[in-house]
Amino acid sequence: MSNIAFIAARMGSERMPGKVLADLAGIPALVHIFAILRKVKRLDDFLVVTTVLKEDDEIEKICAENSVKSVRGSVHDVLDRFRIAAELYKPSRIIRVTGDDPLMDPEIIDQVIEEHCHGDYDYTSNMIERTFPRGMDTEVIEFSALEKSWKNTADRDDHEHVTLFIRRNPELFKIHNVLNKSIRSDDLRLCLDTKKDFELMQIIYDNIYKGEVIRLAEVTDFLNANPEYKKINSDVEQKKVKGKIY
């Protein structure tokens, strides 16, 4: 049984092109994610799934420089990218993370994987009922559930958002939600999607990063001590999919 994380990353972005390689404390955001995943105890490996576009040659190059595998595929059909990678590396389960989240806490990723493995679930995440900040998003998908999704939907949104079919069809899958065991903090936005998000993330990295992976408790302590920083991206609206914010 193997747990392999797939990082969805590409240079194209409507709101902030090139965000996955944005500089945080002198290091590309994506490389910070590599460091985070290397701290996850319940992972056997991780890789990047990117596109065949020329602009994403830079992502493949960064992966090679950091001894990280990469798989390339469709620009908009991310579900098919995941299928290609899954057929190549044959994980028992896929841990889905994104290149938008360079503040993920490895302990939270481990918590999601552990709860999934202790139950008979097809899909586990900490996103169905949000109690963690946006930016801690972690999903665990059984290979069989990914394959079922790919075979049973031709919907464009389902193929662009890898686990949307699963979340929209809970009667077809055994789904589990992981709750924050500490203080609920879903009011915080700690992802990297817009220039305002980047402004906040730069401040966090400039003040906290000391060469080691940043933990969520450090971020919340810093923001509680400096509440004015929370306002920087508080008005950023998450994109809706099929009329709903996931």
CB 213 within 8 A of CB 36: yes
Residue 236 placed within a domain:
no
* Confidence band for 1, pLDDT divided at 50, 70 and 90: low
pLDDT, tens digit, for every residue of 208-223? Answer: 999 999 999 999 999 9
CA angle 145, 178, 80 (to 5 degrees): 30
* Confidence band for 193, pLDDT divided at 50, 70 and 90: very high
Residues 197 and 219: their CA atoms lie apart, in Å, by 14
Ramachandran bin of 25, using left for φ above 0, alpha for ψ from -120 to 50, beta for the remaining angles = left
Q: What is the percent of the chain with per-residue pLDDT over 90, rounded to a whole number?
A: 92
- Cβ partners under 8 Å of residue 205, min gap 6: 24, 25, 214
pLDDT above 70 (res 76): yes
pTM over 0.85: yes
- Burial of 32 by CB count in 10 Å (0-12 exposed, 13-18 middle, 19+ buried)? buried
pLDDT at 149: 96
> What average pLDDT does range 173-183 have in this prediction?
94
Residue 240 placed within a domain:
no
CATH number of the domain that residue 95 is part of? 3.90.550.10
pLDDT at 183: 84
Q: What is the 3-class SS of 1-52, one letter each residue?
A: CCEEEEEECCCCCCCCCCHHHCEECCEEHHHHHHHHHCCCCCCCEEEEEEEC
Helix, strand, or coil (residue 187):
coil
What's the number of domains the chain is made of? Answer: 1
Residue 242 placed within a domain:
no
CB 137 within 8 A of CB 98: yes
pLDDT, tens digit, for every residue of 20-67? Answer: 999 999 999 999 999 999 999 999 999 999 999 999 999 999 999 999
Residue 224 placed within a domain:
yes
Whats the size of the chain, residue-wise? Answer: 246
Residue 237 placed within a domain:
no
pLDDT above 90 (res 101): yes
Residue 243 placed within a domain:
no
pLDDT at 245: 65
> How many angstroms separate the first and last alpha carbons of the chain?
29
Residue 159 placed within a domain:
yes
Which 8-state DSSP code applies to residue 175?
E
Question: Average pLDDT over the chain, rounded to whole?
Answer: 95
Residue 206 placed within a domain:
yes
- Burial of 210 by CB count in 10 Å (0-12 exposed, 13-18 middle, 19+ buried)? exposed
Which residues span the domain enclosing 203?
3-231
Q: What is the 3-class SS of 75-139, one letter each residue?
A: CCCHHHHHHHHHHHHCCCEEEEEECCCCCCCHHHHHHHHHHHHCCCCCEEECCCCCCCCECCCCE
